[in-house]
Amino acid sequence: MKYKIAAVVVTFNRLELLKQCIESLRNQTHKLDEIFIINNSSTDGTLDWLNEQNDLTIINQENSGSAGGQFTGIKTAYEKGYDWIWCLDTDVVPNFNALEMFLNTSSISEQKIGFLTSTVYYPDGNLCFINLPYTRDLHPINQSINENNSISILSASFGSVLFSRDVIKEVGYPIKDFFIWGDDVEYTFRMIESKFLGYLITSSKATHFAPHNYANPFIEMDYSDSKSFYCVRNTVYIIKLRNKLLGRSYIRIIMSVLFFYYSTVKDYAKNKVWDIKSYINFTKYFLIGVAYNPRKSITNHD
């Protein structure tokens, strides 16, 4: 079957990485029908360079983070009638056959297929922790990667994920209020809740040129940085959502949220000395996350 497929890349001040990502998309072994670049008001010369390209569809907007950028890109591609929409972060460079590997898997033709995601590596060859998906069981995902080509998952990151038109029609678009961090997890959780399927395709590979590859990014975070607000708030919400998705009790949800607070404070103290401002900020962001419920204000195609 011939699919119409578009790629969506959201960028903000990462021109050199954006060039690498686009070069890979241009040279995919399965050619894309269109490449959308959502420019979140970059100030590093990105717009000037984009304006010199004649094979990209460029959308410039105010900086609304990954969530707002993917909202715009997915909505635009969906309204143009694409069957599949491949979403990527600027600093993720897919292998040249990454899209072909998606299309070659039998999972793509399953009924109620929602999304397929690549196996994302750090430049040193290790799996990139930030892009590891959630699964229903607790065994390490890297064991499954070594044993299977198609692994059932509960979530995916915007690092490299292919969405079906059917699932977007059902669940709508990402929640813009997330801004960054966890927007992709919530979005794919929503798809699983709607009885769609998600798979990690181990033969579809990409490299994430992230500055660090921490298993627990919260113990290295600068809590005076505004980015940390979104990271903590959204993570607390995702913990609640994942436990609910797995059918766990209200008490179990509370325990999971409190364990995140306890373990982060404890592990951070092992690495660094908590200054009072950082501790207060982390606690404030955590409490905001406990009460946070962004879904109450969305409809399917808000």
pLDDT at 139: 56
Residue 44 lies in a domain: yes
Does residue 232 share a domain with residue 111? no
**Domain limit, last residue, from 174, 208, 242:** 208
Pick the closest to residue 91 from 191, 186, 13 (CA basis).
13
Does residue 119 share a domain with residue 68? yes
Does residue 98 share a domain with residue 76? yes
Pick the closest to residue 86 from 8, 175, 200, 21 (CA basis).
8
Does residue 188 share a domain with residue 283? no
Q: Are 237 and 118 in contact (CB under 8 A)?
A: no
Does residue 45 share a domain with residue 78? yes
pLDDT at 220: 85
What tokens were used for 281? Answer: 């900020």
Q: Which residues, other chains included, contact 26 with Cβ-Cβ below 8 Å and sequence gap of 6+? A: 35, 55
Q: Supply the Cα-derived Rg of the chain in whole angstroms.
A: 19
Pick the closest to residue 56 from 8, 20, 92, 5 (CA basis).
8
pLDDT at 273: 79
**Domain limit, last residue, from 161, 183, 208:** 208
pLDDT at 299: 54
What tokens were used for 123? Answer: 């430049």
Q: Provide the residue range defining the domain that includes 9.
A: 5-208
pLDDT averaged per 10 residues in sequence order, the chain, 302 residues: 94 97 98 98 97 97 97 98 98 98 94 96 95 78 71 95 98 96 97 97 96 89 91 98 95 97 91 87 97 80 53
CATH number, residue 152: 3.90.550.60
pLDDT at 301: 52
**Which amino acid belongs to residue 295?**
R
Does residue 113 share a domain with residue 20? yes
pLDDT at 216: 87
Residue 302 lies in a domain: no
The total number of residues shown for the chain amounts to 302
How many domains would you assign to the chain?
Answer: 2
